[in-house]
Amino acid sequence: MSTKEVANKWAAYCRAGQYDKAQEELYDYKCKSQEMEGVQGYPAKVVGMEAIKMKGEQWNQMVEEFHGSEIEGPIVAGNHFTASMKMDITMKGQPRSINEQVAVFQVENGKIVHEQFFYQMD
């Protein structure tokens, strides 16, 4: 698959709420995932699909209620693509809010090998 094909499939899965399917089909098993430095509640950097899944589970445990999401993009450049993500979410012990982030992905041999997220940390 080309980077554009991977990007479009990733966006379609995410818009449908099928994040697990996106990871299973589109990610390399050695994928690297990077959050903002200083993130609380889960590791800022992990390597491998098992670690990415565990990070996702840790994040899910912090969520009280997920109200919806919105994906803009993707925008493709070479073997990278980016998208903006907005999540309407209530985290445990916090008021409902809209969390916005920019996600950047690197694709090699038709698979996502690196993902990195940028967002405001309070």
Q: What b/e readout covers 94-118, taking b as 16+ CB neighbours within 10 angstroms?
A: eeeeeeeeebbbbbeeebbbbbbee
What pTM did the predictor assign? Answer: 0.92
**Whether the Cβ atoms of residue 22 and residue 6 lie closer than 8 Å to each other:** no
- Sorted by sequence, the CB contacts under 8 Å of residue 15 that are 6+ apart come out as 71
Q: How many CB atoms lie within 10 A of CB 59?
A: 14
Choosing among 3.10.450.50, 3.40.50.300, 3.50.50.60, 3.40.50.280, the CATH entry for 3-119 is 3.10.450.50
The pLDDT of residue 17 is above 80: yes
Sequence spans of domains, the chain: 3-119
Query: Percentage of the chain surpassing pLDDT 70?
Result: 100
The pLDDT of residue 43 is above 90: no
Rounded Cα gap, residues 69 and 32, in angstroms: 23
